[in-house]
Amino acid sequence: MTAPDNLRYTPDHEWVRLEGNMITVGITDHAQSELSDVVFVELPDMGDLEKGAACAVVESVKAASDIYAPLSGEIVEINLDLVADPAKVNTDPYDGGWIFKMRLDDVSQVDALMDASSYTSLVR
Amino acid sequence: MVSFAGWELPVMYSSILAEHETVRTSVGVFDISHMGQIFVSGEKSQKWLDALLTNDVSNLEIADAQYTFLLNESGGVIDDLILYRLDETSFFLVVNAAKINEVTEWFDRHLLEGITYENESSEWAGLAVQGPRAPEIYTRITGGRCLPAKYGVDDVTHEGARMIVCRTGYTGEDGFELFCSARAASGWFQVLMDEHVVPCGLGARDTLRLEMCYPLNGNDLTEERTPLEAGLGRFVAFDKEVEFLGREVLLRQKEEGVEYRLMAIQLSERGAPPRAGYPVLGDEDQVIGHLTSGALSPSLGVGIALAYLPRDVVKIGSSVKIEVRGQGLPAKVVKKPFYQH
């Protein structure tokens, strides 16, 4: 299992990459490996979301899993590549398998998320 | 891992899609030790079983198998099982793990003098080796033995230990189910691993059986539905010598037709996989039923599902919708099975 040092993590197994006031969100290597065989991703609608709101669904052959807004902000972009190729969530979880981008009003929220070593000890 | 009828069972070893593909094209093994093994014997055991099971036991040859149902008085399915005839007066039944108690309670309630049954479920283990390469694997791991014919059973002593080998399965592929003592099972599993047979979990077992429209007890079969409603009337022998329990209800359904039937539904487009419990919508978006099983078909690449639907509203070819999170996905009622070789 990998968990890159430059990302932040939630207890729901999402990763967050901060660039300026924007975050990119996906599910972790651990999460994709537990789910296995992602066959469908229901992408979120654009717009404002409160932290913790269920906004997307990742479906593997075995189960449907909700994806939550890791922080409060506005969804401004979704990964349309996942419509044709949902398995990218498995094969490239931290890059091509990203799910959505959010604009944050308050960037300091990111500090409350786990760093790579805390996340790694959570799932170990 | 998932809890099932008191057992911890693997949903998958590596990937459901990969395991599914392996069974369709090569060979995989499922640990089916959770299933129940019951032995019935006695001078009149054939007649006794004929009174409890829907298929015609008097027609079952020695060393052959029959898929059959144990029904309650109102014709509902207590269990679907495979009955193997070992000799003139002794039979071997493989029953669903969750139904072992129901079956033995039913046997106790209807027991007759001269009939004995042994529930040996905890002493036996089972491995289902499935896929086109299964016969060749069997020959290699047994030092030259050949599998019995399709639906056949061999009750043999191999290297000093009893094993029952059945040319049956739950995947739609050729293969066999090997029943042996619980003590011998890990040895057999290792032998299969050494032959590079791929271990497969419950997930692939479910997608494989659903593509074939084989029913899952507890989902597609319940005590509230009859085999005729499930579309499995061919395993019901109305004209056999001994009348079976539940026959009256089934006969009435046969004459009058059933109101609901278990139908196969295929999604028209790739999308969210259908799952058990999702509503099925008719022409005017009214709910006409709920899925009893559903999955993405790895072989077809689209969602497939089963549901009891009213026959006066839909038939093969009808357009319906499957509701997923408030959205109606277009689908069609299709002929069974979904997957053709």
Q: What is the CATH number of the domain that holds B166?
A: 3.30.1360.120
Interface of A with B in 54-73 (CB under 8 A): 57, 59-62, 64
One domain for residues B181 and B288: no
pLDDT of residue B1: 85
pLDDT in tens, B6-55: 899 999 999 999 999 999 999 999 999 999 999 999 999 999 999 999 99
One domain for residues B269 and B203: no
CATH code for the structural domain at A8-106: 2.40.50.100
Task: State the smallest CA–CA distance between residue A39 and chain B in angstroms.
Answer: 8
Label residues A29-50 b or e (16+ Cβ within 10 Å = b). bbbbebbbbbbbbbbbeeeebe
Assess whether pLDDT exceeds 90 at residue B93: yes
How far, in whole angstroms, is CA A50 from its chain's centroid? Answer: 15
Per-residue pLDDT averaged across B149-156, rounded? 95
Range of the domain at B113: 2-211
How far is residue B93's CA from residue B46's CA, in Å, rounded to a whole number?
13
The ipTM value here is 0.89
A64·B16 Cβ contact <8 A: no
One domain for residues B165 and B313: no
**Is B232 part of any domain?**
no
One domain for residues B180 and B63: yes
CATH of the domain at B304: 2.40.30.110
One domain for residues B183 and B264: no
β-pairing, B28-31 vs B198-200, is parallel
Strand order of the sheet with strand B153-158?
B153-158, B161-166, B175-181, B124-130, B28-31, B198-200
Task: State the smallest CA–CA distance between residue A69 and chain B in angstroms.
Answer: 18
pLDDT of residue B5: 85
pLDDT in tens, B268-286: 999 999 999 999 999 999 9
Domain total of chain B = 2
One domain for residues B203 and B325: no
A37·B16 Cβ contact <8 A: yes
One domain for residues B101 and B185: yes
**Is B203 part of any domain?**
yes
**Is B204 part of any domain?**
yes
Assess whether pLDDT exceeds 90 at residue B127: yes
Interface probe, candidates A61, A66, A85, chain B, greatest B C-beta count within 10 A: A61
* Both structure tokens of B9: 């069972």
Residue B275 contacts A, CB cutoff 8 Å: yes
Ordered DSSP codes for B45-89:
HHHHHHHHBSS-GGGPPTTBEEEEEEE-TTS-EEEEEEEEEEETT
pLDDT in tens, B203-260: 999 999 999 999 999 999 999 999 999 999 999 999 999 999 999 999 999 999 999 9
Q: B203 to chain A: which residues are within 8 Å by CB?
A: 61-62
A62·B17 Cβ contact <8 A: no
* Both structure tokens of B306: 């089963």
Task: State the smallest CA–CA distance between residue A47 and chain B in angstroms.
Answer: 19
Assess whether pLDDT exceeds 90 at residue B2: no
pLDDT of residue B239: 95
